[in-house]
Amino acid sequence: MSSLEFLYLDHNSLTGAFPLVIFNLSSLKSIDITGNYLIAGNNLSGTLPVDLCSHCPNLQRLYISRNKFSGKLPSQFNNCRELSVLSLSYNMFDGSIPKGFVSLKKLESLYLGGNNLIGNIPPIVSNLSMLQGFYAERNNIKGSMPSDLWRLQNLKELDIHYNDLTGTIPPNIFNITSLQSLNLLGNSLSGNLSLDTRIPCPNLGGLVLGDNNISGRIPSYLSNCSNLVAVDLSRNLLSGPIPRSLGNLKYLEIIDLGDNQLTEESGH
């Protein structure tokens, strides 16, 4: 099948090791083997070759989520210059996020959630200028968030919930005007949320910072995020009153402020 460009085997009940020889088809543009788990115990498995892109220079989309692939993530992406979607989530990958991702200049969506990844988020993630979605939830990622995430000016969704991130949330992340959803639930992030004097984020619809160690007052400037639909600041160390200005958020459907140290506004 030397002319094969699209291979779709997703959402079946395929089992066994995925034949790596498929990656020798230089004409391939898209592979989708997502979710071969419709019968309990049935999953595709195996490891991905280190030189995944050596023979697939035209690959644009690779979907292998929700299987049982294991081992380290491929470290060499030098030849995957056309890759726009890389979906590796909910497998059994371990090790750290490879620095080789820096070569993926056209990457728009990176799905790494639900694996056993460790280490830090490498600074190179901030060099993926076309990135619109970064998902690394439910891993064992530690360390602080890269301070230069603000460089991702096309970023729409950032989801790193249920990891072990520490330190403060870089305030300049809220300068990403394209940002629509930020989910950092269930980490060990700290810092005084009220010290950040503004959050422009005109397109922000979801802000989920629950189950961390964030302190300070609930900032009144949240009312500037006029498109907010859901806010979760629960299970933190927030204090003081609930800002009246939150009442101006006309699209707000969900707000969770439980398990903090909030007080009644003085004089009421």
- Domain holding 150: CATH number? 3.80.10.10
| Each residue's pLDDT tens digit, 153-203 | 999 999 999 999 999 998 888 889 999 999 999 999 998 876 555 667 889
Where does residue 151 rank: exposed (0-12), middle (13-18), buried (19+ CB within 10 A)? middle
Q: Are 173 and 181 in contact (CB under 8 A)?
A: no
User: Is residue 268 one of the residues assigned to a domain?
Assistant: no
User: Is residue 156 one of the residues assigned to a domain?
Assistant: yes
**Strand partners of residue 207:** 182, 231
Q: What range defines the domain where residue 231 resides? A: 6-262
Question: Three-class SS string for the chain?
Answer: CCCCCEEECCCCCCCEECCHHHHHCCCCCEEECCCCCCCCCCCEEECCCCCCCCCCCCCCEEECCCCEEEEECCCCCCCCCCCCEEECCCCEEEECCCHHHHHCCCCCEEECCCCEECCCCCHHHHHCCCCCEEECCCCCCEECCCCCHHHCCCCCEEECCCCEECCECCHHHHHCCCCCEEECCCCCCECEHHHCCCCCCCCCCEEECCCCCCEEECCHHHHHCCCCCEEECCCCEEEECCCHHHHHCCCCCEEECCCCEECCCCCC
Q: How many domains does the chain fold into? A: 1
**Residue 52, pLDDT score:** 81
**Strand partners of residue 232:** 208, 256
User: Is residue 1 one of the residues assigned to a domain?
Assistant: no
User: Is residue 26 one of the residues assigned to a domain?
Assistant: yes
Handedness of CA 24, 25, 29, 35 (dihedral sign): negative
User: Is residue 215 one of the residues assigned to a domain?
Assistant: yes
User: Is residue 207 one of the residues assigned to a domain?
Assistant: yes
Distance CA 157, CA 219 (A): 22
**Residue 198, pLDDT score:** 60
**Residue 132, pLDDT score:** 97
Place of tokens 């009421």: 268
The amino acid present at 146, given as its one-letter code, is P
pTM for the predicted model, two decimal places: 0.93
**Number of other residues whose CB lies within 10 A of the CB of residue 174:** 21
The amino acid present at 71, given as its one-letter code, is G
Cβ-based neighbours of 138, under 8 Å, separated by 6 or more: 113, 114, 115, 161, 162, 163
Q: In whole angstroms, what separates CA 3 from the centre of its chain?
A: 34
User: Is residue 267 one of the residues assigned to a domain?
Assistant: no
pLDDT by residue, tens only, the chain of 268 residues: 889 999 999 988 888 888 888 888 999 999 999 987 655 556 788 888 888 888 888 999 999 999 999 999 988 777 788 999 999 999 999 999 998 888 899 999 999 999 999 999 988 788 899 999 999 999 999 999 998 888 899 999 999 999 999 999 988 888 899 999 999 999 999 988 765 556 678 899 999 999 999 999 998 888 888 999 999 999 999 999 999 989 999 999 999 999 999 998 755 4
**Pick from 135, 86, 91, 143: which is nearest to 116 by CA?**
91
Torsion of the alpha carbons at 252, 254, 259 and 265, rounded to the nearest 10: 30
User: Is residue 12 one of the residues assigned to a domain?
Assistant: yes
Handedness of CA 50, 54, 55, 56 (dihedral sign): positive
Distance CA 163, CA 139 (A): 6
**Residue 175, pLDDT score:** 85
**Pick from 82, 38, 30: which is nearest to 61 by CA?**
30
